[in-house]
Structure 1
Amino acid sequence: MERHETAAAPPGVLGGERNKGDARVTDIDESLQARGAAPPTPSPTPWRAVSVVMVGTFMAILDSFIVVVAEPAIKADLGASSGELQWIMAGYQLTYAVFLITGGRLGDLHGRKRIFTLGMALFTLSSTACALSGTAIALIAARLAQGLGAALMVPQVFAVITLLVPEKDRHRAFGVLGMVIGLATSGGQLIGGLLIGADLFGSGWRPVFWINVPIGLATILLAMRYVPESRATRARGIDIPGVTVLTIALFLVVFPLIQGHEAGWPWWTWASLAASVAAFAVFAHVERWIGNRGGDPLLRLSLFATRSFSVGIVLVLAIYAVLTSYYLVLSIALQDGLDMSALGAGLVYTPAALTFFVFSVIASRLVPKYGRRVLEIGAIVLAVGYASTVIVLTSGLQLTPGLIIPTLMLQSVGGGLLITPSLNAVLSRIDPDDVGLASGVLSTSQQVGGALGVAIIGLVFFSSFRPAAEGKVGAAAHALAMSSIFTLITAIVATLLVYLLPAGRARGGDRP
């Protein structure tokens, strides 16, 4: 593999030491040679490999949203109950969130290319099973397997970028990844609406899953051809006690967040959340005990002593609490309040998606020069965007797409400047041996943040949505305004977190 000549990045949150990218690429070759494996085929740039693995991220996030518009058709075709429909959505999110850290660790141990390819194969096979499902129970089982496939492949995407792309270009790679995430998030319902509206070969809702199959097969072949193998040099084995306790802890926090609203927040949801705190404490004790005995813990707690990582993880959790939940309640407001079709609601997102894309590109060009300042401006503009939504929706004007689209675009300006660099900020100072694990933690914070946001904003929205008293349009405007207040508060918290990120170059760590 070609050794990249990497200039020192200027001071800023994404800065790093000279030739840090070279050292990480060298680690890949040394890791392989230590195991008797040939180094990757020389390539002038890593962009083909990076582009291939980004497809995995797009597919994983898309399938969190594309099913939303398919639920009415699934209910009619399979006779699914409301509880079964909830699990068609929640089952995927549950296995996806719970196994992300384990998926990242497996990549460190057994090779990121191998685990990415395995995850994509499972995702593709389970998508086929989804499309062929004849009952709601079969579809739920296939969705559980699909979430597990996503959990295996997504952490490897962050790891491949961090390892292959030199420091001077990494902000560009994470900028593109941010665009991919934003487009998958905002485009899922639009793509789903187009596929269902087309009713290809009279297949109804099934193309939302069939579309994954040719893309998945092509991605597997391209990954085998262009993605070099890499693994951690220090990893010695899987930490079974750690995996077990962490899985239980994540289940205890994610399951009630996903199911709480549908179940009406009974006592067991709060008991589960309380039990998760104790489970995470047990996990920390287990990992510390294994590390003190010279073992190889699933999660090295020393990662959180690095301020860019610990603060960045909380920042990402806050951002995704806003990003995921707001698009979902907006879709409900447009469809249930304004009687728009799923395709029409998806088209409302299109200007915001394009704005996000443009400002993600702008962020990737500004970060090398201005560093953390770009994130600060992005966070402030994001907060202003939600504030403008609150003002517009409480102004007495009737809710229309034309009223809401400009505020969505303003939010996307801030999101494009903030979200894409924040991903790099989390991983920019992580040791190559820990990058898979750190990527799993990052991906988990995205999913947990999304589940937390949906739980809270869903509670706010539905408790405020009273069409019988205010009329559908007025009720939708009121509920969306109340939801926007929550997102505004969260965006302000994210702004404060940005100012806690280290502003200088990492030299031997950035511990406060």
Structure 2
Amino acid sequence: MNEITESPAELSDPLLPSPADAARSPTSSGVPWQVVSIMMAGTFMAILDSFIVIVAEPVIQADLGASGGQLQWTLAGYQLTYAVLLITGGRLGDLYGRRRVFVLGAAIFTLASVACALAGTANGLIAARLAQGLGAGVMVPQVFAVITALVPERGRHRVFGVLGMVMGLATVSGQLVGGLLIGADLFGSGWRPIFWINLPVGLAVILAAAVRVPETWGTRARRIDVPGVVLLTVASSLAIFPLIEGREAGWPRWTWACFAASAVLFGVFARVERRVGERGGDPLVRLSLFSRRPFSVGLVLVLVLYACITSYYLVLSVSLQDGLGMTALGAGLTYTPAAAMFFVFSMVAGRLVPRYGRRVLMTGAVVLAAGYASTAIVLLSGVRFAPGAVIPTLMLQSVGGGLVITPSLNAVLARIDPRDAGLASGVLSTAQQVGGALGVAIIGVVFFGSFHPSAGGAATAAAHALAMSSVFTCAAALVATVLVCLLPGGRRG
């Protein structure tokens, strides 16, 4: 398959199958699961490495003598380059072939993982993590784009359900996998296996993709919009960097100056892209994409949802480890029942959405809000804070998350012309990363502003801080419910 030229159709509900699907040939109706699985393995690696470092930081600090700032950059540096390059990475896939760019990104990611494992200094590890993020930023958008290009619309609900499950499990299992690998201390190597594990997986993904994944392209143009890339990279960096660093630094003036400069540069970027399009050129971002209501509303929905899930797992980890004194492995095991529920209801959503459309997302958003609210109620009721007290409410959150987070991916990419799949996928992935960074920045203020261990003991303080954070995420889930209502109206398929 060389290029997909399907044109999107405007329908009343982008989450339901289109009438055109009935006219597809039998050979085009199946889902190429082998190809999809190869691409998803790349996504799992990239997301896992966003979280696996969290549990390794104390060991890394002891081994490399890293300062607090250097330690933070082993996590923040990866997130920054990952987020900043996603749109450009998606566009490169449209221009030069998604399989080719995916393999390139996977190769960069794998080599950088080896460099991380071999790092002898904190600065060397940071540099390798920056390169790792670059590889992830190039690799991940191709996953969404290939699915959009190769999977018929009526099959995408199932595929995005599985993809959402994979992403959720990577998020939840990062600390568990990290704790297991560090605890095993293979060959006395301490923290380094958390990066070595990417070598065999990365090589397998590269080989399988090169052999099994068909090539697809977007636009036939063969020129990258260099001014657009520069403006977008700088504007994105100025927006994301203070979100990552701002809370730890106490939100000094430079963070607000960065936000202001970012807003100005995004305005300049939009103007430049509009002019390039008017002159018949090939802009990095076609602004007309945002005029599509399912895409624009769905994009904000994804941003809000990832602001909830990423930030909440971070403060939950702090509550369990700093508040209750649990090990990283123990904290990871606390997430396991919730991960199982997320897995199950992600699959359920894939079956229900083709029939009931956005009503599935609406139900999920309401249940998600109820899960956060129930956590706050339990923690504020005077019940002793322990894993058993919150596991049921975490499971309720995961039921809602499985029903709304996984279908939201399809809500964004529904009816996207496959020629724009790489660009749209890059924008979607950026929304996920920006949402996560924004959620962490806001919930960090809420959580650490409420976490005062000296007042009544670490466990009591952690319970109160987690309850306040649950109130914030409940409010964000209610906003997500409103956004689901703003998606084009549902109807039965």
Aligned to 2:89: 103
Aligned to 1:465: 451
Distance 2:365 2:13 in 1: 16
Aligned to 2:311: 325
TM-score if structure 2 supplies the norm length? 0.95
Deviation sequence 1:38-97 (CA, Å, 0-9, x none): xxxx99751111110001110010000000000000000000000000110000000000
Residues 231 and 292 of structure 1, relative CA distance in 2, 3 Å threshold: same
Asked if the contact 2:29–2:152 (Cα under 8 Å) also holds between the matched residues in 1, the reply is no
Question: Structure 1 counterpart of 2:18, which letter?
Answer: E
Distance 1:106 1:194 in 2: 37
Distance 2:299 2:411 in 1: 9
1:276: Cα distance to partner?
A: 1.2
Does 2:223 align with 1:237? yes
Question: Structure 2 counterpart of 1:13, which letter?
Answer: P
Question: Structure 1 counterpart of 2:341, which letter?
Answer: T
Asked if the contact 2:229–2:284 (Cα under 8 Å) also holds between the matched residues in 1, the reply is yes
What are the residue-to-residue correspondences of 1:277-296 with 2, within 5 Å? 277-296=263-282
Provide the secondary structure at the position in 2 that maps to 1:66: helix
Aligned to 1:345: 331
Provide the secondary structure at the position in 2 that maps to 1:399: coil
Residues 368 and 98 of structure 1, relative CA distance in 2, 3 Å threshold: same
Asked if the contact 2:16–2:355 (Cα under 8 Å) also holds between the matched residues in 1, the reply is no
Question: Structure 2 counterpart of 1:15, which letter?
Answer: L
Aligned to 1:186: 172
Question: Structure 2 counterpart of 1:17, which letter?
Answer: S
1:265: Cα distance to partner?
A: 1.2
Residues 24 and 57 of structure 1, relative CA distance in 2, 3 Å threshold: farther
Distance 1:44 1:307 in 2: 28
Aligned to 1:30: none
Distance 1:9 1:307 in 2: 10
Residues 300 and 417 of structure 1, relative CA distance in 2, 3 Å threshold: same
Does 2:159 align with 1:173? yes
Provide the secondary structure at the position in 1 that maps to 2:359: helix
What are the residue-to-residue correspondences of 1:124-163 with 2, within 5 Å? 124-163=110-149
Asked if the contact 1:22–1:166 (Cα under 8 Å) also holds between the matched residues in 2, the reply is no
Distance 1:20 1:114 in 2: 29
Aligned to 1:370: 356
Distance 1:413 1:478 in 2: 24
What are the residue-to-residue correspondences of 1:66-77 with 2, within 5 Å? 66-77=52-63
Aligned to 2:290: 304
Asked if the contact 2:80–2:241 (Cα under 8 Å) also holds between the matched residues in 1, the reply is yes
Distance 1:191 1:207 in 2: 10
Distance 1:22 1:268 in 2: 56
Asked if the contact 2:41–2:205 (Cα under 8 Å) also holds between the matched residues in 1, the reply is yes
Does 2:36 align with 1:50? yes
Question: Structure 2 counterpart of 1:290, which letter?
Answer: V
Asked if the contact 1:257–1:451 (Cα under 8 Å) also holds between the matched residues in 2, the reply is yes
Asked if the contact 1:315–1:497 (Cα under 8 Å) also holds between the matched residues in 2, the reply is yes
Aligned to 1:15: 16
Does 2:437 align with 1:451? yes
TM-score if structure 1 supplies the norm length? 0.92
Provide the secondary structure at the position in 2 that maps to 1:441: helix
What are the residue-to-residue correspondences of 1:389-404 with 2, within 5 Å? 389-404=375-390
Distance 1:14 1:317 in 2: 18
Asked if the contact 2:165–2:346 (Cα under 8 Å) also holds between the matched residues in 1, the reply is yes
Deviation sequence 1:84-112 (CA, Å, 0-9, x none): 00110000000000000000000000000
Asked if the contact 1:9–1:17 (Cα under 8 Å) also holds between the matched residues in 2, the reply is no
Find the partner of 2:208 among 217, 222, 232.
222
Distance 2:206 2:153 in 1: 27
Provide the secondary structure at the position in 1 that maps to 2:218: coil
Aligned to 1:274: 260
Asked if the contact 1:20–1:167 (Cα under 8 Å) also holds between the matched residues in 2, the reply is yes
Asked if the contact 1:104–1:436 (Cα under 8 Å) also holds between the matched residues in 2, the reply is yes
Question: Structure 1 counterpart of 2:16, which letter?
Answer: G
Deviation sequence 1:424-459 (CA, Å, 0-9, x none): 110011111111000000000000000000111011
1:24: Cα distance to partner?
A: 12
Task: Name stretches of at least 5 consecutive residues in structure 1 with no aligned partner.
Answer: 27-41, 506-512
Residues 191 and 290 of structure 1, relative CA distance in 2, 3 Å threshold: same
Residues 45 and 370 of structure 1, relative CA distance in 2, 3 Å threshold: closer
Aligned to 1:31: none
1:10: Cα distance to partner?
A: 10
Residues 22 and 57 of structure 1, relative CA distance in 2, 3 Å threshold: farther
Residues 292 and 407 of structure 1, relative CA distance in 2, 3 Å threshold: same
Aligned to 1:120: 106
Question: Structure 1 counterpart of 2:253, which letter?
Answer: W
Question: Structure 2 counterpart of 1:319, which letter?
Answer: L
Residues 342 and 107 of structure 1, relative CA distance in 2, 3 Å threshold: same
Distance 2:389 2:82 in 1: 36
Aligned to 1:496: 482
Question: Structure 1 counterpart of 2:389, which letter?
Answer: L
Asked if the contact 1:21–1:163 (Cα under 8 Å) also holds between the matched residues in 2, the reply is no
Question: Structure 2 counterpart of 1:283, which letter?
Answer: F
Find the partner of 2:243 among 236, 254, 257.
257
Residues 409 and 10 of structure 1, relative CA distance in 2, 3 Å threshold: farther
Asked if the contact 1:21–1:167 (Cα under 8 Å) also holds between the matched residues in 2, the reply is no
Question: Structure 2 counterpart of 1:181, which letter?
Answer: M
Distance 2:365 2:224 in 1: 38
1:234: Cα distance to partner?
A: 3.9
1:15: Cα distance to partner?
A: 2.5
Find the partner of 2:425 among 439, 445, 453.
439
Aligned to 2:69: 83
Distance 1:305 1:237 in 2: 25
Distance 1:213 1:48 in 2: 21
Distance 2:221 2:418 in 1: 11
1:25: Cα distance to partner?
A: 12
Deviation sequence 1:93-136 (CA, Å, 0-9, x none): 00000000000000000000000000000000000000000000
Asked if the contact 1:254–1:451 (Cα under 8 Å) also holds between the matched residues in 2, the reply is yes
Q: How many positions carry a matched residue from both structures?
A: 486
Residues 25 and 297 of structure 1, relative CA distance in 2, 3 Å threshold: farther
Distance 1:350 1:207 in 2: 22
Asked if the contact 1:465–1:479 (Cα under 8 Å) also holds between the matched residues in 2, the reply is yes
